[in-house]
Amino acid sequence: MPSRTPKLSDLPPIDDDSECINVVIETSRDSRTKLAYDPERGAFVVRLVLPQGMNFPFDFGFIPSTLADDGDPLDVLLLMDEPVPAGTIVPSRLIGVIEAVQTEKDGTKDTNDRLIAVAATHELFSDVDQLSDVPSSVTDQIEHFFISYNEQHGKRFEPKGHHGRKRAENLLAKGRRAYKRSKKRK
């Protein structure tokens, strides 16, 4: 019997050879179509199409084998030179996090942080080690995108702070522990 290929959501979060995190791209930079990986189907599903003139500022995806407070894998916005298609695994370096609270239409609030990473082979941001190394105009645009993106869906996205690589790595470790606990319960 052939061995079964693991789901993208169950791949290792860290590549042992390079010590980079694995980022699975769900939505490519400049795309208006928000895709989401459905692990049950093993496929990408269209979640929504953004209005004309609004698109993702960078590639957006998740770190496999992690679980965030909202029940999904940890979200990552990936800074790199060229967009890549959905389903691509990009070895990356964490540089920081934009911590945020998201208020749903019904008023419930969840932590919904956005980890920020740089592709390991990226030239434009190759000298970036911390989120503070990214021009503030770029982080402002990222925040504005997520605020506008959520407003389009009757939600509110409230950035609470920017933090560096250490805080992002702590959130990654927490997300890995939560994922392992969820697997033990099944």
pTM of the model: 0.92
Percent of the chain with pLDDT over 90: 78
Q: Is the backbone of residue 42 left (phi > 0), alpha (psi -120 to 50) or beta?
A: left
Q: What is the mean pLDDT of residues 34-62?
A: 94
Range with lowest mean pLDDT among 81-85, 110-114, 120-124 = 120-124
Give the per-residue pLDDT at 186. Answer: 66
Determine the distance from the C-alpha atom of residue 28 to the mean position of all C-alpha atoms in its chain, rounded to a whole number: 12
Determine the distance from the C-alpha atom of residue 80 to the mean position of all C-alpha atoms in its chain, rounded to a whole number: 14
Range with lowest mean pLDDT among 65-69, 137-141, 150-154 = 150-154
Structural domains in the chain plus CATH codes:
11-176 (3.90.80.10)
Handedness of CA 9, 10, 16, 17 (dihedral sign): negative
Q: Rounded mean pLDDT of the chain?
A: 92
